Amino acid sequence: MLMINRLRVEIVTGEGLYGIDEEFEDGLNFLASEDNTCGKSSILEAIYFCLGFEQIIGGIGEKVLTSAYKTFIEDGEKKLFVLESKSYLEISNGKEEITLFRAAKMSNRDSRLVTVYYSSLEKRLNEDILVEDMYVHMPNSATNVKGFHHYLEKFLHLQLPMVPSTDGSQRKLYLQLIFSCMFIEQKHGWGDIFSGIPILGIKDSKKRVLEFVLNLDTLSNERKKENLRFEEGRIKNEWTVEVRELFNAVNRETCEIFGVPIKPCVLNEIDLTGIHISKNKQKLDTFIEELKCEYKNLEAIKPKVVDNFDDLQEELEKTELAVEEFEEDMRSLREKILYENSCIRVLNDNIEILENDLRNNKDSARLRALGSELDCMTSENICPVCQQTIDDTLLPMVEGIEIMSIDENIRHLESQKIMLSYAKESHRQNKENFDSQLQSLQGKVFSLRRLAMALRNDLYSVEEDISEAIVYKKIDLLNKIEKMEEIRKLVNEKKQKLMLLGEQWKKYLEDKKKVPNKKFSNSDLEKLEKLKSYFVSNLKKYGYKSFVDMSVIEISEESYLPVIEGFDMKFDSSASDNVRGIWAYTVALMQTSMSKAGNHPNILIFDEPNQHSIIPKDMEKFFDSIISLESNSQTIVGITVKDSDTKATMEKLPEGKYKLISVGNKAFGRLSE
Amino acid sequence: MDNFLLTNEIIFESKPDAVPYNYRISYKVSQLCLIISSSCNGKGGCSLVKLHIISSALNTKAYMQILDDYMNEKSSYMLVRFDPAVNRGIKYAVADGLVFQLKNGTFRLTEKGKRLMIKINDEENLLLNEKRYLSSLGKKLTNEKIESLMSMWRYKNVDDK
């Protein structure tokens, strides 16, 4: 759980120290003032800011804070300039207390820095207190050890899940997202349930937050599924790599292979025997046998030049013919390679030009933004002379032809670049193929030439000499046999590997089966049922009137938000009932989490819940229901007590059940050192 | 009239045209301001011909080289493309209050134009090539050089009519 114990804001001005220093208690806390403009929101902002949740207000860093933190504060008639502003927040997780310190304006201190004192605010300066500096809103601050939110997650004993992000990768669910459903902020929070949720690139972020808060099993199911998907990808990938290696090795020796499963599957020994390799339409084994046989025959022939001049002559002619054929092939291959090379060169030039264009276009976009900052009208597509709209081009325009905006132009160029890179890649692959073909041809021609040379030598040699051709053939055969055997070995190795992958694939399929098909486990359904019943009973309590029949309200199994006959409840609700809906849902979420061991940190903040002049009786019921929540939870309500109705409501609440913090005329008064 | 083939199957839709960066108002205006600020000494202002010469040199590396060669007296003559976009660009710059025209026809930056320069110079990677070239060129392209070049045009291209 998260509990806010004490907040101290210090604003240093030329006239001394201003600020507030208030303690909060568990249960209901009111932050009440008589005027709406005097800075309750500023005080709540300090809480968000210390926790690094200012994205809920609408941005990152001190810029979202009110001017009191940055420029000046008012004291009576005087305007005092702010020199430094610092916020301290003492929080507790039920067992330990820590104090957070973050400065909105302070020289030599980055506003992204959060200092954690491992003690209460009172004792933070004692000697033996451990102090650590951490940061927020920097890359990886949710996962990095020095990231404050990483620390806060541990401190609150939350275990945030990894969830899919919009770019397809896995990211940790952000704390800001979770707290946006508990901290209802004044400006964005009252539009709709969850309307204050920041957009941080998490897919279905509302859904993920609710799953986490309610601790639904679907989340772990999703995670399991995600893992399985990853496993599937890995096996498929490795399988393709193995198969490709196999094909490459076999093709290099101009053999063919049959019966290799291209996609992962479970293999047994029998399946493996179905994998055949053949060379020249023969089985590899037979081919090797034949080679060996040929070798033996050669052995039998005496390696002498016998009276077979005609045979030698004939063989020489055949060999030379073969060489010529191969050379022809090589020539055409070389031509193709030259062509591919020139294609690649042209594409490279084009890509370079495109990159240059892209850079310049991005510069233009930036310059346009700079122009806008200086109020240049041309940057807004307005003619500075006649105030009419103009197109962003210096080329003479033909009426009726649209032009791209810079952003469109950049996208246009980027997709061109992708296209060219793709073309380049395919040309490169062609070239590689031709290269390897050329190489193998060269090898063949080389060995044929050697044979031809040996034959020629034999033709002119003395009769009793050892036949060079036969010796050469023998060596050649030995080489071939060796290579073929290597392939046989490789294929066997690969078979084993594929077997192993097949086993893993089997395991993957089994695991996949184990993942429940039904989206919700029984306990999930119970939780959703509970959420619904709390929600409906809260609605009744708060005087929701847009429907007479509350039984039509359902909690959607898709979004976990309340729907009526499949439609968002908001469409059928009046404005004030919409606000009641937000009260009811926010409170019901915490109630459900409390009774069903969810992950709710048991804290709620409402800024100005009395929107749309809700009648005081309902307001009172709302506060009553908060008071009647179990202990161990904290609610902070910022409220304006301007009219007598609200005042009466507050007075009716049972004494001692809530803490009232009155904010005076101005939120930040003089503060003693 | 209904007998046209495929009238219902094929629909032509006009797509917006791409504009080269060089013809974007924001780019050209900023480029011209950059030239004025880095190639001219304050009081005299910058003549339109000078803007044309440098702006055309900034188009490609090859043009930059040609201007360099002329500046270093490796070649005694060069041609300049007078791009109407420069004229339009300077008009926008004047209308937007970034640049003003002196009595003698030359251009100088206004306070707003100077503020734009500061912003552009603050961003290191913005207009990187342009900045690099202009700083190497500095204020070397003097009015005398331009005068002599223009008189050359008169002699050399007299036959072109």
In chain B, where the domains are located: 21-150
Judged by CB atoms closer than 8 Å, whether chains meet at B26 and A408 is answered as no
Give A344's pLDDT tier (boundaries 50, 70, 90). very high
Exposure string over A505-523, b if 16+ CB within 10 A, otherwise e? beebeeeeeeeeeeebeee
pLDDT at A427: 94
Asked if A182 and A590 touch (Cβ cutoff 8 Å), the reply is yes
ipTM over 0.95? The verdict is no
Interface test with A, best of B13, B17, B34 (most A CBs within 10 A): B17
Contact across the interface for A360 and B119, Cβ inside 8 Å: no
Query: Which chain B residues have a beta carbon less than 8 Å from that of A361?
Result: 21, 24
Residues in chain A within 8 Å Cβ distance of B95:
377-378, 383-385
Q: Average pLDDT of A558-581? A: 75
Q: What is the mean pLDDT of residues A133-139?
A: 77
> Average pLDDT of B29-37?
91
Judge whether residue B51 has pLDDT over 80.
Answer: yes
Contact list in A for residue B98 (CB cut-off 8 A) is 376
Which residues from A are below 8 Å from B126, CB to CB?
A: 363, 366-367
Tell me the DSSP string of A429-470.
Answer: HHHHHHHHHHHHHHHHHHHHHHHHHHHHHHHTS-TTSBPHHH
Mean pLDDT of B77-89: 89
pLDDT range class, residue B160, cuts 50, 70, 90 = low
Query: What is the tens place of the pLDDT at every residue in A18-40?
Result: 888 888 888 888 877 776 666 77
User: Among the listed ranges A230-239, A261-270, B128-137, which one has the minimum average pLDDT value?
Assistant: A261-270
- The rounded mean pLDDT for chain A is 80
Q: Looking at chain B, which residue has its C-alpha nearest residue A413?
A: B18
Query: What average pLDDT does range A479-501 have in this prediction?
Result: 85
pLDDT at residue number A347: 94
According to the model, what pLDDT value does residue A340 have?
93
B16/A403 Cβ within 8 A: yes
CA distance A332 to A325: 11
Q: How far off is chain B from A420, nearest CA to CA, in Å?
A: 17
Distance CA(A157)–CA(A144), nearest Å, equals 17
> Does B114 touch chain A if contact means CB atoms closer than 8 Å?
no
pLDDT at B90: 92
pLDDT exceeds cutoff 60 at A534:
yes
Please give the Cα distance from A328 to A528 (Å, whole number): 76
Decide if A364 touches B, using CB distance below 8 A: yes
Q: Is B72 on the interface with A (CB under 8 A)?
A: no
Most confident listed range (A341-355, A526-540, B124-138)? A341-355
Banded pLDDT at A517 (limits 50, 70, 90): low
pLDDT value, residue A634: 84
Q: Which of B19, B23, B96 sits opposite A376 (nearest CB)?
A: B96
Residue A334 confidence (pLDDT) above 90: yes
Residue of A4, A33, A14 lying closest to A642 (CA atoms): A33
| Per-residue model confidence (pLDDT) at position B76 | 79
Cβ-Cβ contacts under 8 Å, A407 against chain B: none
Average pLDDT over residues A259-287: 76
Q: In which residue are the tokens 């055997």 written?
A: A485
Q: Do B21 and A361 touch (CB under 8 A)?
A: yes
Does the domain formed by B21-150 have CATH 1.10.10?
yes
User: Residues 586-605, chain A: which have Cβ within 8 Å of B?
Assistant: none
Residue of B56, B58, B96 to mutate, testing the A interface (most A Cβ within 10 Å of its Cβ): B96
Would the CB atoms of A363 and B92 count as touching at under 8 Å? no
How many C-beta atoms lie closer than 10 Å to residue B132's C-beta? 11
Cβ contacts below 8 Å, chain A against chain B, sum to 106
Contact A212, A161 (CB under 8 A): yes
Side chain identity, residue B147:
E
Instruction: State the pLDDT at residue A597.
Output: 78
A295-325 pLDDT, tens digit per residue, is 888 777 655 555 567 777 888 888 889 899 9
Q: Is pLDDT of B2 > 60?
A: no
pLDDT at B159 over 70: no
Using the predicted structure, report yes or no on whether residue A568 has a pLDDT greater than 90: no
Q: What is the pLDDT of residue A587?
A: 83
Instruction: Tell me the percentage of chain A whose pLDDT exceeds 90.
Output: 8
